[in-house]
Amino acid sequence: MIAAAAQVADEDELVVIGSQAVLGSHPEAPAELLRSMEADIYPR
């Protein structure tokens, strides 16, 4: 999802906010947390 947003926005850096933002700090999170189909993303 983030790669697709970067391509659409033609940006290399994006800001992720909301509940999915925590995954950037905790990539080892349980699989249940990795399944969200939603994220709040905007170009930096």
With 0.75 as the threshold, say if the pTM is over it: no
Per-residue pLDDT at 24: 82
Per-residue pLDDT at 13: 94
Chain mean pLDDT for the chain: 88
Domain encompassing residue 23: 2-43
Per-residue pLDDT at 12: 93
Q: How far is CA 44 from the centre of its chain?
A: 13
Phi, psi of 14 (to 5 degrees): -130, 155
Per-residue pLDDT at 43: 93
Positive or negative CA dihedral for 30, 35, 40, 44? positive
Sequence letter at residue 28: E
Per-residue pLDDT at 10: 95
Q: Residue 6 class from Cβ within 10 Å (0-12 exposed, 13-18 middle, 19+ buried)?
A: middle
What's the number of domains the chain is made of? 1
Low-confidence residues in the chain, pLDDT < 70: none
